[in-house]
Amino acid sequence: MCAMRVDAKVVMLGKESVGKTSLVERYVHNRFLVGPYQNTIGAAFVAKAIQVGDKVITLGIWDTAGSERYEAMSRIYYRGARAAVVCYDLTDSSSFQRAKFWVKELQNCEEHCKIYLCGTKNDLIQGDRSLRQIDFHDAQDFAEGTTTTVTTLFQKVAEDYNDTALQFMTEETGVDLGQKKDSYFYSCCHSN
Ligand SMILES: Nc1nc2c(ncn2[C@@H]2O[C@H](COP(=O)(O)OP(=O)(O)OP(=O)(O)O)[C@@H](O)[C@H]2O)c(=O)[nH]1
């Protein structure tokens, strides 16, 4: 058996039932789980290799449980993460409050973790605009850019990781790097 070497740890955070597991399932296995909702207990791990230019970056994705009951455990999973995908349900304003909580916590505790804010269940608001509870501009206040699909979101995570890794290498050799970006946000509006 051959174990996969993980280059970057990625953590999924957000209120329960916002769709973190569905997002990871969609991205890694290209499927949407049907049937009754099953909450994540503790956390689940999956690794995925992504081509970035001529390199292959392997993301190790920790899908945490959203229930506040598991909050202390989620903290263990974000330690040392290079990226956090913080999810909120576009039809649930309380999930946006919870997302803000995680963003603040990551900003305070994980200075090298890049934060990607991700609005989920876009299909529901496409079907009925009145269901939208979080204004695009509210999310934009937290975001520096947008991606539209799950694939582009994780591709961006891998590319940003690659750029930062290169930056650290250059720093060590003492070459001038120009501007340094430590932490910023991306917003993604799809779960497909
Ligand atoms: N309509 C719609 N439903 C979704 C979407 N993503 C997830 N769901 C549904 O929302 C429910 C919760 O999805 P999960 O992916 O299990 O949510 P989670 O954030 O992992 O939940 P926890 O494990 O409790 O933290 C399930 O019934 C999903 O089918 C989406 O994009 N659109």
Q: pTM to 2 decimals?
A: 0.88
Question: Distance, CA 22 to ligand 1 centroid (Å)?
Answer: 6
Domains and CATH numbers, the chain: 8-166+182-189 (3.40.50.300)
pLDDT tens for each residue of 69-96: 999 999 999 999 999 999 999 999 999 9
Question: Distance, CA 120 to ligand 1 centroid (Å)?
Answer: 9
DSSP helix, strand, coil percent of the chain (3-state; round to 5)? 40, 25, 35
With a 6 A CB cut-off, is 43 part of the ligand 1 pocket? no
Q: Please give the number of the atom of ligand 1 that sits closest to the Cα of 18.
A: 19
- Cβ-contact 25, 31 below 8 angstroms: yes
Separation between Cα atoms, residue 31 and residue 166, nearest integer Å: 33
Q: Measured between alpha carbons, how far is residue 22 from residues 12, 53, 105, 119, 127 in Å? A: 11, 28, 24, 13, 19
Q: Whose CA is nearest to atom 30 of ligand 1?
A: 121
Answer yes or no: is pLDDT of 169 > 70.
no
pLDDT tens for each residue of 108-117: 999 889 999 9
Q: Whose CA is nearest to atom 2 of ligand 1?
A: 121
Question: Distance, CA 187 to ligand 1 centroid (Å)?
Answer: 18
With a 6 A CB cut-off, is 99 part of the ligand 1 pocket? no
Separation between Cα atoms, residue 144 and residue 117, nearest integer Å: 10
pLDDT tens for each residue of 58-71: 999 999 999 999 99
